Amino acid sequence: MDAVSNKTRDEKDTKLLSLKDLLELIRPFQGRMIIACILQTISAVASVVPFIAVAELSKVLLEQGPIDTNAAWKACWIAFFALIIRMATTYCAFYISHDTDNDFQLYIRRRLAKHLVKVPLGWFTNRSAGDVKKGMADDVMHIHYLIAHAALELLTAFVIPVVTIIYLISINWILSLVALFPIIIGIYMYIRQLKKGLKLMDTYTDSMGKISGAAIEFVQGISVVKTFGQTGKAYNRFLEAAENFLSVMWNMMKSTLRITSFAELLLTPLIALVTITSASIFAIQSGLMEPVAIVPFTLLGLGIAAPLLAMWYGGTALQEAAVAATKVKALLTTPVLEEVSSCNKIRGLELEFKNVSFSYDNKTNALEDVSFVLKPGTTTALVGRSGSGKSTVAKLIPRFWDPATGQILLGGVDIKEIPSTILYKHISFVFQEVQMLSATVRENITLAKPDASDEEVFKAANAANIHKRIMELPKGYDSVVGTDALFSGGEFQRLSIARALLADTPILVMDEATAFADPESEALIQDALSNLVIGRTLLVIAHRLSTIQYADTIIVLHKGKIAEQGTHTQLVSQKGKYAALWQRHERSSQWFPETRQNTNHLNPQLISK
């Protein structure tokens, strides 16, 4: 019993928290929503008044003796003015609610965008595009529907039956209770259905996110999976997500279909007509009411159930909006990287890792007590097997994440105490996976320096060996990437090098840019990199050891720790882990000579020439 009671209490707490999250999100707009609801309440009452007026008119017309024309015209005028009031208040209520909704969507999406840009970049690597898209688009849309439509519809569906029932009770309370009997049963059935639906709503929303993410990943990766003949596997993953969604949907429908069907049957006008007519005949025969009193019941009694059906759909919208609000709130409360507005003076350009440890899952360390220094003007290379921590080191520098312990210092100042705008003026990055915005070529190159002149942009593009390719585009530098301009992988890499050249930072972190380039692109990228690295402090992640022979310091990482460090000559002579890696590289070079890359961009003597 304790377990059952605890489970019930947890479910109630979850519902209350969801509603609390919803109210918190819409709080800035609650004043306008209250005004819209007041107007809609007036509209709902006014929509019942013409029927009451017609019912009263029928009494006047069916009474014995001369017709009271004043009373008849009074009923007609009341109906007319009620209709005018209803049209005016409905228009105003829906205008305010839709205007409020537009402002809400802009407000909440701005909040999400403003918050997510402060979230660690590594957070995005652990989530699919579908999950983020669902939070920023689909979940906001569920709340939008509540504000613009469902709230007013729900209010109308509540007010109309209440006003109608009060009027009918004033005529004959016994017959009113009889008319309400099937409606009460129907409402009870709907509440049961709603409870079952709530239990499955989280599963439903999760499956929606998975199918959305699977669809995006399938479309984005179709060229890769086709190339390697894995279309079937990729399609199967998407199909599994779709089948899971259909299974969840079917379970939701199956668990509630019987209850819903019975409830809707009880709330149909036909059931109301049969119930009211049967009870009225019995009441008239028993002398409990006059025959003329049946008119209001047949006229208004049939309309009680229809708004209640609308109330059910409005309740479903409220339920979806509450769950969506919890998802949006989760995004808005995602931990952010703390940003400072100013920092101590950066003394020099020395970059130091000081006893840095980091874990992705708070269980296993990806880095453990890592310490090294990048001296200004030197080249430092990171080598090691896959999973040794090379990429983690590189991504801690731009603060994809912050270290669990230890410090990363730039000029003696912890990078956590340096505003990102200042940090990125000192350090730039060239990674293998190039990211470009759906913007013009010029805007992509000038990301780090938006006010750059055309001459500066052209100079950087020329140095990166990409200017000529850009000028071949229909709109040149004003071509939109992905629309007017379709670039190869090597061309994208040269664009990123042009961006880094324009940023002109003294420190460069470089994930070996030519690891997967074809020979022609590789030569162009190598020349571009030779221009980029001149006079800079370099941290290079090496995938091919031939590219880092001339590095001032080579750091060998093993299971997140520094195993060895020194020059190429020193490490080879030690016959340790680096020597073993180098021997393996040499053997592969005999079989695949193309793996022995041009290393001019890291050779100080050749660069100086």
Asked if 300 contacts 166 with a C-beta cutoff of 8 angstroms, the reply is no
Measured between its terminal Cα atoms, the distance across the chain in Å is 83
d(CA 118, CA 422) in angstroms, rounded, equals 15
Burial of 59 (0-12, 13-18, 19+ CB in 10 A): middle
In the predicted model, is pLDDT for residue 8 greater than 60?
Answer: no
Asked if 276 contacts 301 with a C-beta cutoff of 8 angstroms, the reply is yes
Asked if 344 contacts 126 with a C-beta cutoff of 8 angstroms, the reply is no
d(CA 89, CA 37) in angstroms, rounded, equals 10
Residue 177 main-chain phi, psi, to 5 deg: -65, -40
Confidence of residue 282 (pLDDT cuts 50, 70, 90): confident
Residue of higher predicted confidence among 582 and 11: 582
| 44-48, 264-268, 493-497: range with lowest mean pLDDT | 264-268
**Structure-block tokens of residue 207:** 């499956």
The position carrying tokens 């990199």 is 529
Helices (H) and strands (E) in the chain, counts: 23, 10
Read off the pLDDT of each residue in 465-486 and give the average, rounded to a whole number: 87
Confidence of residue 11 (pLDDT cuts 50, 70, 90): very low
CB contact set of 155 (below 8 Å; sequence gap of 6+): 37, 40, 41, 44
Residue 371, SS3 per DSSP = strand
Q: Give the pLDDT score at 556.
A: 93
How is the beta sheet containing 413-414 ordered, strand by strand? Answer: 365-374, 351-359, 405-410, 413-414
Residue 348, SS3 per DSSP = coil
In the predicted model, is pLDDT for residue 225 greater than 60?
Answer: no
Task: State pLDDT tens for residues 421-433.
Answer: 888 888 888 777 7
Residue 327, SS3 per DSSP = helix
Q: Give the pLDDT score at 286.
A: 77
The position carrying tokens 């030197």 is 378
d(CA 319, CA 308) in angstroms, rounded, equals 16
Task: State pLDDT tens for residues 241-281.
Answer: 777 777 777 776 666 667 667 777 777 777 777 877 787 78
The position carrying tokens 């690597």 is 125
**Structure-block tokens of residue 302:** 């049939």
Taking alpha carbons only, the member of 198, 211, 288 closest to residue 244 is 211
Task: State pLDDT tens for residues 496-552.
Answer: 888 888 888 888 888 765 554 555 555 666 666 666 677 788 888 877 777 778 888
Average pLDDT, the chain: 78
Tell me the torsion sign for CA atoms 525, 527, 532, 534: positive
Confidence of residue 13 (pLDDT cuts 50, 70, 90): very low
CB contact set of 110 (below 8 Å; sequence gap of 6+): none
Taking alpha carbons only, the member of 525, 456, 464, 463 closest to residue 490 is 525
In the predicted model, is pLDDT for residue 555 greater than 60?
Answer: yes
Assign residue 365 a region (left: φ > 0; alpha: ψ between -120 and 50; beta: otherwise): beta
Confidence of residue 406 (pLDDT cuts 50, 70, 90): very high
Q: In the chain, what percentage of residues exceed pLDDT 70?
A: 76
Task: State pLDDT tens for residues 343-360.
Answer: 778 888 899 999 999 998
Tell me the torsion sign for CA atoms 408, 413, 415, 417: positive
How is the beta sheet containing 561-566 ordered, strand by strand? Answer: 427-430, 507-511, 537-541, 379-383, 553-558, 561-566
Q: Give the pLDDT score at 587.
A: 75
Would you say the pTM of this structure is higher than 0.85? no
The position carrying tokens 């840019």 is 513
Q: Give the pLDDT score at 214.
A: 66
**Structure-block tokens of residue 307:** 């708004």
- Degrees, nearest 5: CA angle 186-41-22: 75
Q: What domains appear along the chain, each with residue ranges and CATH number?
A: 16-332 (1.20.1560.10), 351-608 (3.40.50.300)
